[in-house]
Chain A
Amino acid sequence: MEGLKAQSVETVEPGYNAVKKGSKAEVKSNISNIQRLKRDKWLYLLLIPGLAYFIIFKYLPMWGIVIAFQDYSPFLGVFGSKWVGFENFIDFFKNPDFFRLLENTFILACLDLVFFFPAPIILALLLNELRLQAYKSVVQTFIYVPHFMSWVIIASITYIFFTTSGGVVNEIVSLIYGKEINFLSSPEWFRPLIMGQIIWKESGWGTVIFLAALASVDKEQYEAAIVDGAGRMRRLWHVTLPAVRSTIVVLLILRLGNFLDTGFQQIFLMSNSLNRSVADVFDTYVYFVGITQGAYSYSTAVGLFKAIVGVVLVLGANKLAKKMGQDGIF
């Protein structure tokens, strides 16, 4: 981030001059901090709205996590509510809901890793093999569309297509199978629907990052491989895949770090009273218990548990990647 060393040119103010000449130490010796604050007062003024945003909407909620250790009541506020230590966490771990949530979240996350994660990679590799550039960009234009739609639109379209009252899919199913399948409210169809939706919405867009990595492959490498007599598959294996390997690892780390993040909006919109046994995950549970039932402290504890597991996972995955000889993300 500190790139772009400013070139020394005629300057107006001593402060700027000093920075250009050299190190930070030089700045300090030339002008005092108070002078710097004074000089930049307009810049600080510009900074205020943004800073206020981060403090109010990012850091105040972080501080608000303390209610996970309280029996928070909106009337008493954070300062007046009783401290209960880890009671909310213990309640949660003892609750039979805990294992159900863990299981549902875990299964969805694994399915996501197995079915959704490779989808953009495969799609990008296939797109990359298309010879006709114009055709390739048309396909790209098509497959990026769903990414820009909201989850409500994606879920609405799913409902319209899969409903038993005149949905396209069920009309076809009843032609072949003889009767309709209640996709939207049967627990066994919940997970396939979720996977289908995410692949539809995001796998096209997911190719962007891989296509960029593939575009940076030196063409001479392919030529050299051809000279060495490598066929199409071997070029794919020895030239193309190594080019995207680090991208895959970074995305895999990020994904493992977000392992428990089963998209709230998607699951929320697709769950109903009939498929709740498989649909409830940590995020939706926090919403139902916290917002609709008003158990603020308990649901904050659930959210914090999930966030901490997330941090542990991301650090662990990063370490693992470094052990495997990859760069990691930090």
Chain B
Amino acid sequence: MSMPKMHNTPAGRVFDVFNFILMGIIGIIMVSPFLYIIAGSFATEAELTRRSFFIFPETFTLTAYQYIFSTDTFTRSILVSIGVTLVGTLVCLFFTFSMAYPLSRKTLMGRNFFMNLIVFSMLFSGGMIPGYIVVKSLGLLDSYWALILPIAINPFNLIIVKTFFQNIPIELEEAAKIDGCSEVGIFWRIMLPLSKPVLATFALFYAVAIWNDFFSALLYITDSAKWPVQVLLQQIIILSQAQLGDAASTSANFVEPPDQSLKLAVVVVATLPILIVYPFLQKHFAKGMLLGSVKG
């Protein structure tokens, strides 16, 4: 928002300059850790020990990445994360959109009841342990589905998609009806094609949520061969190497304790997909959040 034209007092001008610099510093401070991590992952061990902070490595090396992609533990968990994210996104979209459409039809009997069911589940939840017991009794422990199904619908997203369907002009639907289109036909041939941009946006939302999800894997996956990247990251950096040694020795392939650049490279691998989609995220998430806050 630009301010209306006004004459600025000297104090105001000082403030402007100060504010300009302060905002710049805050912005740089907030991204610099990521820049260091990326730079460090391409640097040599010697440089990492010698220099405490840098944004550009002096000597550029891919050793850390070569190591990552040559060991089973890393490649496997990266593949697990990619696979779960891809399948999970499709599943989440299916569940969300197939439920949002009927709920957007005002003539649907029981619509208010279903909506209340959803809203109540946003206010009160059974908690960690009952949720765990449900997943366990479904036999989903140590299954990749445990990383997808319990978070298949985000109620906020569901309500936003419902509102979107609601705002599609009714005439389109009626024209299709006159042409002899069935309800399913309307959903499939009219509503879904119209909602392509919305589908893309929510695909992004869900993909990021699933990629970043650590909680589900912590609760439901104990087999180290099925760890997604987030858990591997926790094992390597936060729980230190000893624990990784334990975990890895139970699986077929033992991983040597990682050195500094390797740690940074793993962080980059876990971060990169998010950074790649970031330009789209920034644009759509802000819109989605504002919509959600109005509706919710």
Interface residues of A (CB under 8 A from B): 1-2, 4, 6-7, 9-13, 15-16, 19, 27, 33, 36-37, 40, 42-47, 49-51, 53-54, 56-65, 67, 74, 123, 126-133, 135-136, 138-146, 148-153, 155-157, 159-161, 166, 168, 171-172, 200, 204, 208-209, 212, 214-215, 217, 219, 222-223, 226, 231-232, 264-265, 268-269, 283, 286-287, 290-291, 296, 299-300, 303-304, 306-307, 311, 314
Q: Name 19 extra pairs, CB < 8 A, besides A6-B106, A62-B130.
A: A46-B99, A49-B98, A54-B118, A57-B131, A65-B126, A67-B129, A126-B19, A142-B27, A143-B27, A146-B30, A148-B281, A150-B214, A153-B267, A153-B271, A166-B48, A217-B1, A296-B133, A306-B127, A307-B125
- 22 A-B residue pairs with CB within 8 Å: A1-B115, A16-B107, A37-B109, A40-B105, A40-B183, A54-B118, A54-B153, A64-B133, A64-B134, A129-B3, A129-B15, A136-B23, A142-B27, A152-B270, A157-B37, A159-B237, A160-B264, A204-B30, A232-B12, A264-B215, A291-B219, A299-B129
A150 and B230 within 8 A (CB): yes
Residues of B within 8 A of A15 (CB): 107
B125 and A62 within 8 A (CB): yes
B107 and A64 within 8 A (CB): no
Residues of A within 8 A of B129 (CB): 64, 67, 286, 290-291, 296, 299-300, 303
B263 and A160 within 8 A (CB): yes
A152 and B289 within 8 A (CB): no
Task: Select which of B95, B106, B128, B187 is within 8 A of A286 by beta carbon.
Answer: B128
Closest to A78 in B: B133
Contacts A49-B95, A142-B27, A226-B6 given; does A152 touch B134 at CB 8 Å: no
Task: Select which of A166, A208, A215, A290 is within 8 A of B128 by beta carbon.
Answer: A290
Whether a CB of chain A sits under 8 angstroms from the CB of B70 is no
Number of A-B pairs, beta carbon distance below 8 Å: 288
Across the A-B interface, the 6 shortest Cβ-Cβ residue pairs: A50-B99, A61-B126, A64-B130, A150-B212, A303-B127, A142-B27
Residues of A within 8 A of B211 (CB): 150
Q: Which of B261-296 contact A (CB under 8 A)?
A: 263-264, 267, 270-271, 274-275, 278, 281-282, 285-286, 289-290, 293, 295
Q: What 1/0 flags go to B64-97 for Cβ under 8 Å of A?
A: 0000000000000000000000000000001110
B289 and A54 within 8 A (CB): no
- Of the candidates A16, A40, A152, A311, the one having the most CB atoms from chain B within 10 angstroms of its own CB is A152
A209 and B289 within 8 A (CB): yes
A47 and B114 within 8 A (CB): yes
Interchain CA distance A185-B36 in the complex, whole Å: 23
A12 and B177 within 8 A (CB): yes
Contacts A131-B3, A146-B30, A311-B124 given; does A47 touch B109 at CB 8 Å: no
Interchain CA distance A2-B115 in the complex, whole Å: 12
Interchain CA distance A150-B59 in the complex, whole Å: 30
Interchain CA distance A123-B3 in the complex, whole Å: 17
Whether a CB of chain A sits under 8 angstroms from the CB of B256 is no
B274 and A131 within 8 A (CB): no
B134 and A61 within 8 A (CB): yes
A157 and B107 within 8 A (CB): no
Interchain CA distance A135-B53 in the complex, whole Å: 26
Q: What 1/0 flags go to B135-158 for Cβ under 8 Å of A?
A: 010100000000001101100001
Task: Select which of A12, A40, A141, A304 is within 8 A of B282 by beta carbon.
Answer: A141
Whether a CB of chain A sits under 8 angstroms from the CB of B252 is no
Residues of A within 8 A of B114 (CB): 47, 51
Whether a CB of chain A sits under 8 angstroms from the CB of B200 is no
Whether a CB of chain A sits under 8 angstroms from the CB of B190 is no
Interface size class of chain B, counting residues whose CB lies under 8 Å from the partner chain: 35 or more
Interchain CA distance A185-B150 in the complex, whole Å: 33
Residues of A within 8 A of B53 (CB): 168
Interchain CA distance A49-B48 in the complex, whole Å: 51
B132 and A153 within 8 A (CB): no
Closest to B211 in A: A150
A166 and B49 within 8 A (CB): yes
Interchain CA distance A265-B108 in the complex, whole Å: 40
B2 and A131 within 8 A (CB): yes
Interchain CA distance A201-B149 in the complex, whole Å: 27
Residues of B within 8 A of A40 (CB): 102, 105, 107-109, 183
A61 and B127 within 8 A (CB): yes
A46 and B238 within 8 A (CB): no
Residues of A within 8 A of B158 (CB): 50
